[in-house]
Amino acid sequence: SAVISQKPSRDICQRGTSLTIQCQVDSQVTMMFWYRQQPGQSLTLIATANQGSEATYESGFVIDKFPISRPNLTFSTLTVSNMSPEDSSIYLCSGSRGPNTGELFFGEGSRLTVL
């Protein structure tokens, strides 16, 4: 299986601040994605991280709120900007070995609490 590591694993942040989550994957991973899992809820895809270009965002998510970078094949960051308590969630980095395979590997997630 592919190796995906994320940091921080958890953080507590103040309203109005921003937090950047880092994700490192191994070279088997070609596609990278960011998901959000709100408390007691399922996973929602935020965006696909594209190497060297702007991420592809899903409906309901915008670049100003969730800027994403992927400067190289194995590294991506997600920033949660101007946070509010509603942003308290687990943010998950995931990857796949090819396009649209559906077989995803996940990091352990970053649990974010906004006060």
Partner 1 sequence: GNSVTQMEGPVTLSEEAFLTINCTYTATGYPSLFWYVQYPGEGLQLLLKATKADDKGSNKGFEATYRKETTSFHLEKGSVQVSDSAVYFCAPCYDKVIFGPGTSLSVIP
Q: Rule CB under 8 A: is residue 101 a binding residue for partner 1?
A: yes
Side-chain-side CA neighbours of residue 99 (13 Å): 1
Q: If we measure between CA atoms, which residue out of 100, 91, 103 comes closest to residue 21?
A: 91
- Specify whether the CB–CB gap between 44 and 35 falls below 8 A: yes
Q: Rule CB under 8 A: is residue 61 a binding residue for partner 1?
A: no
Q: Rule CB under 8 A: is residue 32 a binding residue for partner 1?
A: no
Number of residues that bind partner 1 (CB under 8 A): 18
| Sole binder of partner 1 in the list 36, 87, 107, 110 (CB under 8 A) | 107
Nearest approach in angstroms of CB 108 to partner 1 is: 4
Instruction: Give me the 41-60 binding string for partner 1, x by CB under 8 A, dash otherwise.
Output: xxxxx--x------------
Q: Which is nearer to partner 1, 4 or 80 (CB)?
A: 4
Q: Which is nearer to partner 1, 89 or 94 (CB)?
A: 94
**Cα torsion at 12, 18, 23, 29 (round to 10°)?**
130
Q: Rule CB under 8 A: is residue 39 a binding residue for partner 1?
A: no
Helix or strand or coil: residue 86?
A: helix
Cα(68)–Cα(36) distance, rounded to whole angstroms?
A: 14
